[in-house]
């Protein structure tokens, strides 16, 4: 019988008689680069940590289990994961990509992948006619849902049917919701991407990235690529992510409740003109996310009434940190225009809704009253 997700954050195929690793409750860090053999053909199953490492293998099993995938691949960062994924494609291949993506993904596609001969069409995958833009050489559709930072919600199952009809693979970045709230593979996706730096790690203390698939052909290709390119996650970082995943469920629940409280607070503030949070019933993607996910997450974006007020808010917050990341236990506020999306052309940013008045919150696990009190005080002090 399948265990609950909180249990699976802690245990994999274990029973009371399992006392491997001397009974260690914390999975050991195998901090070694290479492994000794007793003779020809007498391997322990491990040869060289670029190829495989017990700590990394344990982490990959945990993440694959949470995403209900066939296999997972732990890499040195979220961008390393996406870079490896792009090695599945060759010159003249075409990808349809969500236009409102994390700026680092767009930077990679526009400056590295295009240079390598891959063609991209950017669409609003929540409203545009995806099928109309599919070409003979289209190999994949790549989405985030919710998107970063405008929190647009795509219908994964609907897009997966389009992809399968045209023999494309569907790639879903699941960083914002994590496998605790959403499992894209069960909705028809072929590959799931994570920046493990964010909610999976949860403590702003390490970098990591993941690819998860339920497709055997893709699995074989990625296993070859990860050992060939050498971007596998180091043992100590694997241990940090394993530690973080243990509390994934309780962190996501607390952060989500705080996000709901803050979203409702922001709606009532005169200085705030728009609130983008998929847990608000008026959000255009509310019905879709209710259908395909078990929660709404801890990310929200809002616009204020002027660029000057946006700058003041960033300068005056104290407990809420002005920093570029997300998914940790601390609440962070980010300015996409100069941080996460600084390398995205201004015309594209504005078209996606990212203006100089846009702020993004990654809501942590503090007491929501304290977070709201700080925002109240900051808003009152605006000139």
Catalytic residues: 50, 102, 173, 198
Residue 344: which region, alpha, beta or left (left: phi > 0; alpha: psi -120 to 50)?
A: beta
CA-CA distance, 113 to 92, in Å (whole number)? 11
Q: What is the DSSP string of 236-283?
A: HHHHHHHHHHTTHHHHHHHHHHHHHHHHHHHHT-TTEEEEE-TTSTTS
Strand, coil or helix: 141: strand
Count Cβ atoms below 10 Å from residue 42 Cβ, excluding itself: 7
User: Is the peptide bond preceding residue 118 cis, with omega within 30 degrees of 0?
Assistant: no
User: Is the peptide bond preceding residue 146 cis, with omega within 30 degrees of 0?
Assistant: yes
Radius of gyration over alpha carbons of the chain, in Å? 21
CA-CA distance, 80 to 325, in Å (whole number)? 16
């Amino acid at each position: 019988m399948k265990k609950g997700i909180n249990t699976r954050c802690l245990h994999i195929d274990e029973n009371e008689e399992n006392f491997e690793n001397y009974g260690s409750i914390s999975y050991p860090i195998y901090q070694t680069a290479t492994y000794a053999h007793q003779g020809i053909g007498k391997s322990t199953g491990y040869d060289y940590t670029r190829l495989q490492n017990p700590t990394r293998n344990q982490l990959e099993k945990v993440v694959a289990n949470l995403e209900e995938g066939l296999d997972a691949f732990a890499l040195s960062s979220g961008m390393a994961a996406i870079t490896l994924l792009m090695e599945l494609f060759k010159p003249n291949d075409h990808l349809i990509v969500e236009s409102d993506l994390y700026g680092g993904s767009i930077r990679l596609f526009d400056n590295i992948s295009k240079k390598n001969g891959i063609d991209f069409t950017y669409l609003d995958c929540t409203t545009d006619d995806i099928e109309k833009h599919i070409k003979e050489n289209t190999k994949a559709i790549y989405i985030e849902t919710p998107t970063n930072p405008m929190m647009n919600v795509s219908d994964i199952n609907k897009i997966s049917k389009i992809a399968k009809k045209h023999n494309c693979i569907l790639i879903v970045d699941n960083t914002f919701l994590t496998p605790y709230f959403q499992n894209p593979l069960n909705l028809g996706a072929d590959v799931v991407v994570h920046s493990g730096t964010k909610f999976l790690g949860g403590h702003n203390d390490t970098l990591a990235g993941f690819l998860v698939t339920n497709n055997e052909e893709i699995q074989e290709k990625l296993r070859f690529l990860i050992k060939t390119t050498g971007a596998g996650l180091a043992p100590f970082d694997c241990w940090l992510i394993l530690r973080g995943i243990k509390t994934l469920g309780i962190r996501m629940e607390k952060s989500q409740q705080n996000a709901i409280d803050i979203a409702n607070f922001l709606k009532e503030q005169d200085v705030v003109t728009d609130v983008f949070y998929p847990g608000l019933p008026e959000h255009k993607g509310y019905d879709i996310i209710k259908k395909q996910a078990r929660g709404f997450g801890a990310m929200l974006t809002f616009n204020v009434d002027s660029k000057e007020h946006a700058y003041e808010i960033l300068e005056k917050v104290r407990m809420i940190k002005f920093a570029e990341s997300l998914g940790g236990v601390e609440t962070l506020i980010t300015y996409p225009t100069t941080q996460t999306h600084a390398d995205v052309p201004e015309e594209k940013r504005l078209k996606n809704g990212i203006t100089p008045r846009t702020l993004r919150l990654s809501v942590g696990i503090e007491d929501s009253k304290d977070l709201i009190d700080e925002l109240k005080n900051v808003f009152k002090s605006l000139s």
